Structure 1
């Protein structure tokens, strides 16, 4: 026998206090008895230590235990029998935990922080039979960080990238010859909207190899390939990856913040000699500028 959960929404996305609806689909060659069919909603913030940050994070938080957000269980069907063949059992459960101060943080799959919501179904079979279970993840759009209205003309932040703004060492030809990249970018945007702006390479003594946008937690999107024309504005239009971003959160024991970094890579033989490792690592043939990025949710 097999058990499957099918949610009513194909995108599996819900907001607090909405009804989470779907079907429990069972397939069995023969009739089986059960002691009840239950569904459970679970939501938690999971702190995962990766790499060399283990000692630092553990020294702050001690034991890294999940932070519970949601725990709710209901009985869909009392004890009885399931007919042979395919059976569809509808369910509906309100997305809250019955408390007065429900706080739903938005779904986020990060490197060290993961905010996840799961729907579990259990067909209880009794002592002599193992319960049949299925799990599906659903996404939550939080209402904690909503702007009163969607901004019509978001405020742009202007930036400049020159040899004098770099805090790491550069190749001698870049340091002496100089370069200047200017532009503007929106540092507050909706999670569902693209990151927009523009930049212009005004001057460069060394040909440009590429221009990239890094979203930290690092997601790299190339916006120019090769030595671009100088004094020609290049548009910035980057769709934000849904599961890897969420509204900016400051919640006591954890926070989720973002930065956007503009990287200009210059053509040099060293580029092909030294392998790419961490894209955040300083390299002598790369110039960069980082800006804070605030993400919010729409109504």
Structure 2
């Protein structure tokens, strides 16, 4: 009989004879006979539970920021409870632009495209170690690789790292420790961040471009509260439209008059992602962050400062790759929307780089209203009668 079955039957038998004194001695003899098997199973259980095998990639820079012409260095750290043999340690470096068209921003036909084939920026394999053994405990294995080899002409541009809604640009380094067919390979992945070359960047400070805006009941394209239509309101100010990623968005606004008390004033930072799908362009707008400028009614004639810190990975330099959209025309479009290649906001089309990343800020004023208590939640794409909004295109650049 199989040892495991014997042990199981013995334990089951013990429950039955424990109440019978005449069978107690027989049960004890059976336990003594099966004791080596029980100890072996317990030892195997402890070995499986307490085996430690982990691998981690640690880059030499804590912020993980690199330039396309720089050397990436780091260590592969393994923690093992016992030594293992391997058939080689390889480091795979992959970078790509991932594009996705969602049904909300495309028509029925375009939605079938779904995830578009990624655009490969970088793909290379570095052999760190040949076959051998890794000792128990903590082991650090150094590695290094060039993002772009000297004299090499990359097939694609090194776009900056960006995590968006429909577009993401990622640079990943993955280690693979192959252990043969009978053992599971050990692997780990780390993302590093790419920024533009310093020699190609403009010097700081850049000349900030400020745009003057004003908001009244006549500048709104949606229906307003009757009190706002009759009494009116006027808000004026200025905001930066060309901004460095390392600097905040600055500006100011003044509430000159308002017939209805103000509930709050907010500024939405939006991304406008466009993807070329067939002969059309799917454009989707999504919210990055919201910054509250004022809470409650605002004193008339008081200047309020605008100061917005840009998030690190959710923004990048404005990309016009494949086609160039006129920011003013795009800002006035109703989104999400499909644009044809002949749209007035489209000045150039190229099939090689079928995407674009742009940004804008939207100033939203919420007025006090009884309807606001019923509809407390609102979508930034759908303005209600107690809202007033003004959108301004924003160009982001990287500076030294």
> TM-score w.r.t. structure 1 length?
0.94
* Equivalent of 2:370 in 252, 269, 276: 269
Matched with 1:6 is 58
Q: Aligned-residue CA RMSD in angstroms?
A: 2.0
Between structures 1 and 2, the one with greater helix share: 2
Q: Please state whether the residue corresponding to 2:228 is helix, strand or coil.
A: helix
Q: Please state whether the residue corresponding to 1:229 is helix, strand or coil.
A: coil
Matched with 2:39 is none
* Equivalent of 2:145 in 88, 93, 97: 93
Higher mean C-alpha displacement, 218-227 vs 96-105: 96-105
Give unpaired runs (5+ residues) of structure 1. Answer: none
CA distance in 2, matches of 1:51, 1:228: 41
Which digits, 9 at most, give the CA deviation of each residue in 1:115-147, with x for residues without a partner? 111110011112222221000111111349955
Taking structure 1 as reference, are residues 16 and 147 closer, same or farther at Cα in structure 2, changes over 3 Å only?
Answer: closer
CA distance in 2, matches of 1:147, 1:18: 16
Which digits, 9 at most, give the CA deviation of each residue in 1:12-47, with x for residues without a partner? 111111111111000111111111111111111111
Contact 1:70 1:97 in 2 (8 A): no
Higher mean C-alpha displacement, 154-163 vs 55-64: 55-64
Which digits, 9 at most, give the CA deviation of each residue in 1:167-216, with x for residues without a partner? 11111101111111100001011111101000010111111111111111
Higher mean C-alpha displacement, 8-17 vs 155-164: 8-17
Taking structure 1 as reference, are residues 58 and 13 closer, same or farther at Cα in structure 2, changes over 3 Å only?
Answer: farther
CA distance in 2, matches of 1:139, 1:13: 5
Which digits, 9 at most, give the CA deviation of each residue in 1:68-111, with x for residues without a partner? 11111111111111011110111111122674145111111111
Matched with 2:254 is 200
Give unpaired runs (5+ residues) of structure 2. Answer: 1-52, 272-286, 323-353
Once the 2 structures are TM-superposed, how far is the Cα of residue 152 of structure 1 from its aligned partner?
Answer: 4.6
Once the 2 structures are TM-superposed, how far is the Cα of residue 49 of structure 1 from its aligned partner?
Answer: 2.9
CA distance in 1, matches of 2:257, 2:199: 40
Q: Please state whether the residue corresponding to 1:53 is helix, strand or coil.
A: coil
Matching of residues 211-226 of structure 1 within 5 Å:
211-217=265-271, 218=287, 219-226=289-296
Once the 2 structures are TM-superposed, how far is the Cα of residue 53 of structure 1 from its aligned partner?
Answer: 2.0
Structure (1 or 2) with the larger CA radius of gyration:
2
Q: Please state whether the residue corresponding to 1:174 is helix, strand or coil.
A: helix
Matched with 1:256 is 357
Q: Please state whether the residue corresponding to 1:201 is helix, strand or coil.
A: strand
CA distance in 1, matches of 2:159, 2:123: 14
CA distance in 1, matches of 2:74, 2:128: 11
Contact 1:213 1:260 in 2 (8 A): yes
Matched with 2:335 is none
Matching of residues 133-144 of structure 1 within 5 Å:
133-143=187-197
The aligned length equals 299
Matched with 2:89 is 37
CA distance in 1, matches of 2:174, 2:77: 13
CA distance in 2, matches of 1:298, 1:56: 42
Higher mean C-alpha displacement, 152-161 vs 20-29: 152-161
Once the 2 structures are TM-superposed, how far is the Cα of residue 297 of structure 1 from its aligned partner?
Answer: 0.6
Contact 1:145 1:297 in 2 (8 A): no
Once the 2 structures are TM-superposed, how far is the Cα of residue 11 of structure 1 from its aligned partner?
Answer: 1.4
Matched with 2:392 is 291
Once the 2 structures are TM-superposed, how far is the Cα of residue 56 of structure 1 from its aligned partner?
Answer: 6.5
CA distance in 1, matches of 2:393, 2:200: 18
CA distance in 1, matches of 2:219, 2:260: 17
Of structures 1 and 2, the one with the larger relative CO (CA 8 A, separation 6+) is: 1
